[in-house]
Structure 1
Amino acid sequence: MPSVLITGANSGIGLAASVELAKRGWRVVATMRDRTKRGGLDRQLAAAGVSDDVRIEQLDVTDEKSIDATIAALDLAHHPLEAVVHNAGIAIGGAFEDLSDAEIRGVMEVNFFGVLALTRRLLPTFRARRRGRILIVSSEAAFAGHPTISAYAASKWAVEGWAEALAYEVAPFGIEVTLVEPGAIKTNIWKASPRIIPKESPYRPLLRHLDAAVDIHVEKTAREPEEVARVIANALEARKPRFRNTVGPTARMLHFARGKIPARLMRRIFARYFGLHRIRW
């Protein structure tokens, strides 16, 4: 029975991936920063009849001691992992000028440096066995930066550049690196993420407009996390997985457009779609 560690498994894509992989016969180590938030995962595992195949552990990817404690508890020397799914992520909305360094660094710590730290800890095990899968849940934001998500987009661009380089280095050891790049997905990141809209901000008209427009866009277009979970599982089980795996029509469109459609034209398309021309500054 192959085994996989999944971060951010208490909700959304991480939860759905934990259930999907357990149903497919994987032994899952579902991790989360706060294990008191495991209720939703426990209910779905029970409903699917796979509770016995999932082990739930505490893991904060921004805390080196937490990573070490989790790895020690898993005893990888005797119970090695076949794969890791880097799903834990956070976002923050707001104009760049309104965001503090601490807020931006917080996003990078989870979405970028957290992925690097956990991967570094697992690579020796994968190399020793000469096989392993490193799967990173990225985003369509890696293809196109949009207003008010500069920190989030930067974190996804960074992790994808790192992943492209890493893939060369680990390939001789039989290790595959894979990106899964969803568009809008129905998860709590939309409501849980802070939206910074200071009253004195010169960007306030844009921020208030997009605060409502993005919610409408998500309501109309967001896909279910189970769709992403199936893509994750298929990628982990593929003999030769594709490096990039988009999920949803907007992600596929933005992936296609990158480098083909001029950036100025893409900005006009985005502005028209979200009605930015109607903003009164």
Structure 2
Amino acid sequence: MSRTSALSSFVESTPPGELADVTKAIKSILGDDAVTGELTPAFEKYNEEQFSTTKLPGGSAEVLVSPYNSLGDGRYYDVESQSSFAFDHATGRASAVQSHVLESKHDDLVKSFVKCLSTHTKEHYPKSSLGVFPIEEDSQIAIVTVANKYSPSNYWNGRWRSSYVYDPSSNSISGAIKVDVHYYEDGNVRLLTKKDVSVSVGGGASAGEVLKQIATAERKYQEDLNKAFASLSEGAFKALRRQLPITRQKIEWEKISGYRLGQDIGGGRSR
């Protein structure tokens, strides 16, 4: 494996909200600030796959960076603000904002999706960004949501990503939900999950009806995750811990380092 490939793999597997830290660590280890240019393709792949967000100059709302709204040459567009912008994948900053009016035969449907998706995300996510984009030569519509929650002071960060493709000709919805959570206090624990989604709606379905199907799928997945966490806590995780017997004997704390847990604390004989 080449140096660039090895370094790119670190970038592409970076947990949510930690890209700047990983980049800083790479520079520190190599002693080379110029490595940023070498990793530009990896940064671009990471930002598009993770649905990275950025604020436009002078704006307050965060807009998406994804393969669905790429214009090529490092530029992306946003339907709500009717603008396009240049994006620096290394720094995560937007610049050179220009007007970009959407031209699509599904223009009205796209706008309806934006409105319905905005309502959906406000009801279900504390903080999120969304995007709706015509794709496949204007024959399909991509519906994208990303919700980030970072708490580095408490050593955890998390990201929810959902993306769907709606095909008006077949009335089908297909996509995936991805969850990535990283806990790193006194160690590293990372949750990576993916749930494929495939549903259909009636002919001529409205944006609201499509979003209703999406909301149902996301709610079901959230419930399944909650059940899985409860099962792990009461099952697999508990099985990992040694069960100490209750003997009602006092522990001589000054001798704690000399106890053999299975015998001395449990009242068994010493060998």
> If each structure's helix is expressed as a fraction of its own residues, which one has the higher value?
1
State TM-score, norm by structure 2: 0.28
Q: Looking at CA atoms only, which structure, 1 or 2, has the larger radius of gyration?
A: 2
